[in-house]
Structure 1
Amino acid sequence: MAAKLSFSLVAPEREVFSGLVDQVDAPGVEGDFGVLAAHAPFMTALREGTVTVIDGSSRRVFSVKGGFADVTPAGLTILAEEAAEVSVQ
């Protein structure tokens, strides 16, 4: 079984999503990026766009307006200025 990525999406008023997933794609200010388990650490600012959370054949899409993404050995945390779920597929 492939390793899972610990992911948390946090907006000022609440934690919007938290869980173990396969991949997260996000809108960085320098371009879109994807994060898998054991990704090299980095931090970047986010632009307005969508965050796609992939777990097996399931996809959840969240709209974000700015913020920061922090990838550490423990996983990915996105601190968004605004975040809301758009769809579940």
Structure 2
Amino acid sequence: MQFSIAIIALFGAAVSALPTEEKRQAYIPCSGLYGTSQCCATDVLGIADLDCGNPPTAPTDATDFSAVCSGIGQRARCCVLPILDQGILCNTPTGVQD
């Protein structure tokens, strides 16, 4: 009798310790120096990108970032400093196929 109570208590403790839902980290497409995520239309030698703007919706992953920008006819970019709809020093985010 005591053994079965101990087993039930052990299983109860094990089940309550299991997480109920997997928690995911938020997707951060751009970090460090190239910290501003942008959707840009034209790349000029990797130095400047023209007609840039913030993505219309927050991307959930690299594929979604590319799809969000493609949906408005632009490409996903990470830029150092966006000024007047121009991205200065931009590169392609990790995981995004150009």
Tell whether the structures are fold-level matches, with TM greater than 0.5.
no
Bigger Rg, which one: 2
User: TM-score normalised to the size of structure 1?
Assistant: 0.30
User: TM-score normalised to the size of structure 2?
Assistant: 0.28
More helix by share: 2
